[in-house]
Chains A and B, each alone.
Chain A
């Protein structure tokens, strides 16, 4: 049955003040991707995860912009964690490389990536790491680089060791490298961890398993013979995908998918 359309509101004779004529295209909101903040298996969440539901914040200018920090914060040497000391670190030399993309498949160029990791024995160069494995005088475990015009990054490092932690009886973290990314907007900021294929410790790691099941394998790099340098280093490839911009204009509260 046809219902008469309501009469359109009278058109203003000049552009409305409302909206300021600002076209803001928000970034998509992830669903089924990130871990819940409250995840009982990971005991440190118990006193740190907020209990109240998050309040939806429509993205405005502060959220669709962000720090564009790049080349000035990084030297070429920062991307080679095996060349920061007089000697070479112990362990399996590896290359970790990939692309930073948004969910629309567009590369994210010129974005700062920061990584940190333990040494080959699974020990971080940090005062509170008391795991009884040796420190390596030739390994700090910190790297930085900026993605190129195609969103590519490349680090040379050594494969991190697994280490015990006290989350539960006989708890061990699967080998991982911490990654921090800015993207180009506050909304795209991401801190995550990259894992290695076939790690036998995945099943008992609550941090890895806090990620919804269908998204966990996105945290696992893949061995890449093409990236592997003969007689020198194994190659692992890992692409990182940040939130992309949706096609819709300014979102209204309640539009959360």
Chain B
């Protein structure tokens, strides 16, 4: 390694002037057949909503593929953005409209259950924090997922599975607790 990495700094309290995009929350346009809505709130260690955070998601397409040249299976043609971005509102809530990703082969053997990688940025976070969201209708796949298994505790793994929303709405709920008794599992990627 010849170059020295640039350190992270917080996004600070004013990220809302620079980072939100009008189409950020819409990985696919609202009303797209099969679209799901991932929604939830971000909380701090006192249980108060974090109203100045940014939630970003990254995921495979419904076939478990990426429009990316570094996918060793080869890139699929661009079309599915795979990326979502939503600032939290006055109640700490975010909302991402997307498609459910497919399962992925894992380089160490098994199969990764459908999931989204999630980054949270906020004032008071000197670096982003990263977690994953899994799907409640994938119990068997979740059981075999290597990242969930690495937690060594099914109860902890269950906290990374979104809660189903009202029947037929295609809605999934996933709250993020930065700190406290319900602290979300965060990963070092």
Seen from chain A, the residues whose Cβ lies within 8 Å of a Cβ on chain B are: 17-20, 22-24, 28-30, 33-37, 39, 42, 44-52, 54-69, 73, 101-105, 114-116, 118, 124-126, 128-129, 140-142, 178, 180, 184-187, 189-193, 207-208, 210-212, 215-216, 218-219, 239-244, 249-250, 252-253, 256
Which residues does chain A contribute within 8 Å of B83, judged by CB atoms?
66-67, 69
Q: Please tell me if the beta carbons of B70 and A185 are within 8 angstroms of each other in the complex.
A: yes
Nearest-neighbor residue (CB-CB) of B188 within chain A = A54
Q: Sort chain B's interface into a size bin.
A: 35 or more
Which residues does chain B contribute within 8 Å of A187, judged by CB atoms?
189
Partner of B50, one of A48, A114, A242: A48
Partner of B72, one of A22, A68, A101, A124: A22
CB distance from A158 to the nearest CB of B (A): 15
Q: Please tell me if the beta carbons of A24 and B2 are within 8 angstroms of each other in the complex.
A: no
- Tell whether B173 is near chain A: CB-to-CB under 8 Å: no
If the complex has contacts A34-B126, A54-B186, A207-B126, are A65 and B70 also in contact, measured as CB distance less than 8 A?
yes
Q: Please, what's the 1-or-0 string for B47-73, where 1 marks a CB less than 8 Å from any CB in chain A?
A: 010101000101110000011101111
Give bound CA distance, A191 to B12, whole Å: 10
If the complex has contacts A33-B7, A218-B4, are A61 and B66 also in contact, measured as CB distance less than 8 A?
yes
Q: Which of A36, A62, A193 has the most CB of B within 10 A?
A: A62
Q: Please tell me if the beta carbons of B70 and A44 are within 8 angstroms of each other in the complex.
A: no
If the complex has contacts A20-B107, A126-B16, are A55 and B151 also in contact, measured as CB distance less than 8 A?
yes
- Tell whether B141 is near chain A: CB-to-CB under 8 Å: no
Q: Which of B19, B60, B107, B109 has the most CB of A within 10 A?
A: B107
Give bound CA distance, A207 to B125, whole Å: 10
Q: Please tell me if the beta carbons of A189 and B7 are within 8 angstroms of each other in the complex.
A: no
Nearest-neighbor residue (CB-CB) of B11 within chain A = A191
Which residues does chain B contribute within 8 Å of A29, judged by CB atoms?
188
Which residues does chain B contribute within 8 Å of A103, judged by CB atoms?
1-5
- Tell whether B121 is near chain A: CB-to-CB under 8 Å: yes
Secondary structure at the A interface, as helix, strand, loop or mixed, is: loop
If the complex has contacts A33-B7, A62-B104, are A124 and B17 also in contact, measured as CB distance less than 8 A?
yes
Q: Please tell me if the beta carbons of B128 and A191 are within 8 angstroms of each other in the complex.
A: yes
Which residues does chain A contribute within 8 Å of B44, judged by CB atoms?
47-48
Partner of A19, one of B56, B67, B107: B107
Q: Please tell me if the beta carbons of B109 and A190 are within 8 angstroms of each other in the complex.
A: no
Nearest-neighbor residue (CB-CB) of A18 within chain B = B109
Which residues does chain B contribute within 8 Å of A28, judged by CB atoms?
1
If the complex has contacts A47-B44, A66-B68, are A35 and B108 also in contact, measured as CB distance less than 8 A?
no
Nearest-neighbor residue (CB-CB) of B58 within chain A = A186
Nearest-neighbor residue (CB-CB) of B10 within chain A = A207
If the complex has contacts A19-B109, A65-B71, A180-B19, are A55 and B1 also in contact, measured as CB distance less than 8 A?
no
Give bound CA distance, A124 to B11, whole Å: 13
Which residues does chain B contribute within 8 Å of A59, judged by CB atoms?
189
If the complex has contacts A20-B107, A67-B82, are A62 and B117 also in contact, measured as CB distance less than 8 A?
yes
